[in-house]
Amino acid sequence: MSLPQFEPEAQPPEIIDEGAVLLRGFAAASELRWIEAVQALQAQASFRVMQVPGGKSMSVAITNAGDWGWVSDLQGYRYSAVDPLTGKAWPAIPAFLHEQAVAAAAAAGCSDFAPDACLINRYQSGARMGLHRDQDEADFSAPIVSVSLGLPCTFLWGGLARQNPIKRFVLTHGDVVVWGGPSRLVFHGVSPLKDGLHHLLGSERWNLTFRMAKRRL
Ligand code: MD3
Ligand code: FE
């Protein structure tokens, strides 16, 4: 008798909240393509820690791909066509990653998703993201597609007001979430990354978010 070989296959979609669809393991089948793509991107535009308007530094290191990249400095947050470290355009979003993000959005019911920005966050031990909402994009009717790789994290999911109660759930390697509809402007964050060892990313967690920064649905 032979047991089926384990394959990290995608699970049926789970609804987190209105407009937020979790595709567990969606990116797991092609994990090496995702990781190799991020490694190639960061060779062109390295991960860096950015300052925020208050003068503090983020604990997460970031880089970008696409026509627009999310940047922060003492002046504020915005999308920039050039990498402030080099003055050059950001690298293009690799075709496979773009296709996968569009396919994830379609699986969640959004058919015209056309991301022009991909923000890549790198978490090392203790790195976190405080409660915030993503509101620097042109069209909030377009979803954001997030892809988690490496160590798991505790994700914080609030409401449309900062004071609303917060739910916690775990995002693990290969999970893809489409955040659209009424969830698009929900406050969210990430708890400090715990020490651990992932078989591909070691002590790190990477998160990619595909966005329509300037383009409209
Ligand atoms: C819900 N990143 O980059 S991904 C971000 O894990 C960000 O690095 C987190 O929040 C991370 O802005 C969370 C999940 C996520 C991303 C964007 C969202 C959830 C979202 C936008 C709107 C609503
Ligand atoms: Fe966010």
Overall domain count for the chain:
1
- pTM of the full structure: 0.96
User: How much distance in Å is there from the Cα of 188 to the middle of ligand 2?
Assistant: 6
CATH number at residue 133: 2.60.120.590
Helix, strand, or coil (residue 40): helix
Band of residue 40 on the pLDDT scale cut at 50, 70, 90: very high
Q: State how far the Cα of 4 lies from the Cα of 191, in Å rounded to an integer.
A: 36
In a domain, 42, yes or no: yes
The two structure tokens encoding residue 126: 């203790």
In a domain, 4, yes or no: no
In a domain, 9, yes or no: no
* The pLDDT value given to residue 23: 98
In this structure, the residue with its CA closest to atom 4 of ligand 1 is: 146
User: In the block, which residue shows the tokens 């999310």?
Assistant: 70
Which helix (H) or strand (E) covers residue 142, if one does? none
Query: Can you count the helices (H) and strands (E) in the chain?
Result: 2, 14
In a domain, 205, yes or no: yes
Residues 102-119 pLDDT 10s: 999 999 999 999 999 999
Report the DSSP beta bridge partners of residue 211.
Answer: 117
In a domain, 204, yes or no: yes
Residues 174-190 pLDDT 10s: 999 999 999 999 999 99
Residues 60-85 pLDDT 10s: 999 999 999 999 999 999 999 999 99
In a domain, 5, yes or no: no
* The pLDDT value given to residue 65: 99
Distance of CA 139 to the CA centre of its chain: 18
- Dmax (CA) for the chain in angstroms is 65
Range of the domain at 146: 14-211
Residues 147-160 pLDDT 10s: 999 999 999 999 99
* The pLDDT value given to residue 11: 74
Pocket lined around ligand 1, Cβ cut-off 6 Å: 119, 121, 129, 134, 144, 146, 177, 179, 183-184, 186, 188, 190, 207, 209
